[in-house]
Amino acid sequence: METYYLTAHQLRDKLKKKEISCSEITKSSYRRIEEVEDKVNSFIRLEKESALLKAKEVDALIASGGSVEDLTGIPVAVKDNICTKNITTTCASKILKNYVPVYNASVIEKLESRNYILLGKSNMDEFAMGSSSENSHFGPVRNPWDVNRVPGGSSGGPAAAVAAGEAICALGSDTGGSIRQPASLCGIVGLKPTYGMVSRYGLVAFASSLDQIGPLARDVEDCALMLNVICGHDENDSTSINKEIPDYRSFLKPDIKDLKIGVPSELMVEGIDGEVKEKILKVISMAEDMGAEVEEISIPSLKHALSVYYIIAPSEASSNLSRFDGVRYGYRNTEARTLRKMYRKSRAEGFGDEVKRRIMIGTYCLSAGYYDEYYEKARRVRTLIINDFKKAFSKFDVLLSPTSPTTAFKIGEKTEDPLTMYLSDICTIPVNLAGLPAISIPAGLSKDGLPIGVQVIGNVLREDNILRVAYSLEKAIGFNDRPGL
């Protein structure tokens, strides 16, 4: 029996009832990987041997009366910028090609405490910089719905793996939309938690004030149960929030009666594909049918979100990526005879173009004489955006928008035009700037058979609201198409 397209909560129930073993589940996922991995390239590294061994262990554990919890024995794909002890963590970069962490990220520790199965490390845009997963030293990831198209990015590997049935669910990271946009383009569910809800310890930093780890799965319930496992205070991360974690599954009720939903007009006009807009409007009318109050709202400062993001994120990145210098670990050019040359050559040869572009932008924005004009100004506008969101949430429970302005584009289509590529994240970026939680769920397919996603944004720490709305809409939409791989 093939189980690879089941969800984590379905498999949990089957494991509990002893209808299936963890080894069978794991083997089924690897059979699927063998079948489609050549086409999608969603993994940088597979951990088949240790995964099957672990699956046996878990089966023995269950047989001897061990409890089956959420994610126990579930095959999960982990984005390759999340540190896994003794298993390479490359960030899809040549500079970390052979880097083996000596420690586990805090989220990995949490998953291990549940006896999850690590399938492998997922492909991505190098250092999570990109919206198409084409910027990988290990080759581009392909969209399971059309392998000539991109899966989105930067968590393109995790999204494609879940959409293609290679993984039951996955962990990704989201700095400007890197979970939600690929989830949208691959027709799955992706959730970015409130900044500080999930520990960043062990997530290789791109932009520290924006990065957040989150789940990708095939339904809202799986996202909620993953959230239950990965959330929580961590003393190793100073920005981690110390607050009691609710049971996120308790919010999964198909009821949004009297809920107030705002639709920011700034996220519905410019550059939004007609078919995407149409689909979102359809979702809005479904929400209204269920008794929610939907209203348009204008948040003018959102116009500046993209510019603010492309100053703050590269600035932080330019500093975060300084440590990759060939001195202690990672790629080193061994021909250089002086220290400066070793730095220059190691970095010039180790980083890809997009990473270099952002390091240069960031270095420029922070340099003497430009700091006030760029970084400081961006910080102030960011505060405006935060305040505007606060105002909006005094009136609305959630905000609703497209996740991505378009469906999946062709591989190579935007690689020569970074600015157009950056526009892919126009609807998701404001959420990171304000540290808000947001989820993307499939709203349906375009005429070309490509997935369209709808984004639900909540106020800080109001994961309950976005889960409730997403769950209700998921039931109403009834999306259950599969890519024809």
Kindly indicate which of the ranges 35-43, 58-66, 89-97, 411-419 contains the residues binding other proteins, using the contact rule CB under 8 A: 89-97
For position 269 contacting other proteins by CB under 8 A, the verdict is no
Backbone phi, psi, residue 443, to 5°: -105, -10
The answer to the question of residue 89 lying near other proteins (CB under 8 A) is: yes
Part in contact with other proteins (CB under 8 A); list of ranges 28-36, 81-89, 300-308, 349-357? 81-89
Q: Which residues, numbered 96-135, are part of the site for other proteins (CB under 8 A)?
A: 96, 99, 101-103, 105
Pick from 308, 281, 311: nearest CA to 296: 281
Q: Residue from 148, 250, 322, 387 that binds other proteins (CB under 8 A)?
A: 322
Following DSSP, what letter does each residue of 77-89 receive, concatenated? Answer: EEETTB-BTTB--
| DSSP state string for 118-136 | EEEEEP-SGGG--SSS---
Helix (H, G, I), strand (E, B) or coil at 363: helix
Rule CB under 8 A: choose which of 201, 310, 331, 351 binds other proteins.
Answer: 201
CB 368, min distance to other proteins, A: 5
The answer to whether 209 contacts other proteins (rule: CB under 8 A) is yes
Torsion of CA 146, 152, 153, 155, to 10 degrees: -60
Question: Could you tell me which stretch among 20-28, 57-65, 88-96, 459-467 binds other proteins (CB under 8 A)?
Answer: 88-96
Nearest CA to 362 out of 302, 309, 422, 405 is that of 309
* Options 202, 262, 352, 444; binder of other proteins; rule CB under 8 A: 202
Q: Which residue stretch of 218-226, 270-278, 289-297, 368-376 sits at the interface with other proteins (rule: CB under 8 A)?
A: 368-376
Q: Does 298 help bind other proteins (rule: CB under 8 A)?
A: no
Task: Please state, in angstroms and rounded to a whole number, the distance separating the CA atoms of residues 273 and 217.
Answer: 25
- CA 283, CA 279: separation in Å to the nearest integer? 6
79 is catalytic: yes
178 has catalytic annotation: yes
- Give me the least distance between CB of 185 and other proteins, in Å please: 27
Q: Minimum distance between the CB of residue 328 and other proteins, rounded to whole angstroms?
A: 6
Binding segment (CB under 8 A) for other proteins, from list 7-15, 19-27, 237-245, 247-255: 237-245
Minimum CB separation of residue 95 from other proteins in Å reads 10
Angle between helix 463-477 and helix 274-289 axes, rounded to 10 deg: 100
Rounded to whole angstroms, how far apart are CA atoms 242 and 227? 15
Token pair belonging to 58: 């878990």
- Residue reference for tokens 């429970």: 397
Cβ closest to other proteins, residue 285 vs residue 367: 367
Cβ proximity to other proteins, 141 vs 241, nearer residue: 241
Binding mask 325-344 for other proteins (x = CB under 8 A): x-xxx---------x---x-
Q: Does residue 367 carry a catalytic annotation? A: no
Instruction: Provide, for the chain, the percentages of residues in helix, strand and coil under a 3-state DSSP scheme, each rounded to the nearest 5.
Output: 45, 15, 40
Residues in the interface with other proteins (CB under 8 A) total: 44
What minimum distance in Å lies between the beta carbon of 389 and other proteins? Answer: 19
- Asked if residue 86 binds other proteins (CB under 8 A), the reply is no
Catalytic pick among 79, 121, 192, 414 = 79
Nearer to other proteins, 371 or 391 (CB): 371
Q: Which is nearer to other proteins, 254 or 371 (CB)?
A: 371
| Residue 310 CB, nearest approach to other proteins (Å) | 16
Cβ atoms within 10 Å of 394's Cβ, excluding its own:
8
**CA of 471: how far to CAs of 83, 204, 240, 402, in Å?**
31, 31, 27, 17
Between 83 and 168, whose beta carbon lies closer to other proteins?
83
Q: 202: Cβ–Cβ under 8 A, 6 or more apart, which residues?
A: 82, 83, 101, 103, 104, 105, 106, 107, 108
Q: Which is nearer to other proteins, 79 or 218 (CB)?
A: 79
* Residue 189 backbone phi and psi in degrees, to 5: -105, 135
Distance between CA atoms of 38 and 137, rounded to whole angstroms? 16
Q: In what order do the strands lie in the sheet with 212-217?
A: 43-46, 117-122, 75-79, 169-174, 212-217, 189-192, 438-445, 451-458, 398-402, 260-264, 293-297
* H/E segment holding residue 454: strand 451-458
Among 131-139, 367-375, 427-435, 472-480, the segment contacting other proteins (CB under 8 A) = 367-375
The single residue of 21, 178, 240, 404 carrying the catalytic annotation is 178
Residues that bind other proteins (CB under 8 A): 81-83, 89, 91, 96, 99, 101-103, 105, 200-205, 207-209, 235-239, 315-316, 318-319, 322-325, 327-329, 339, 343, 363, 366-368, 371, 375
Annotated catalytic residues are 79, 154, 178
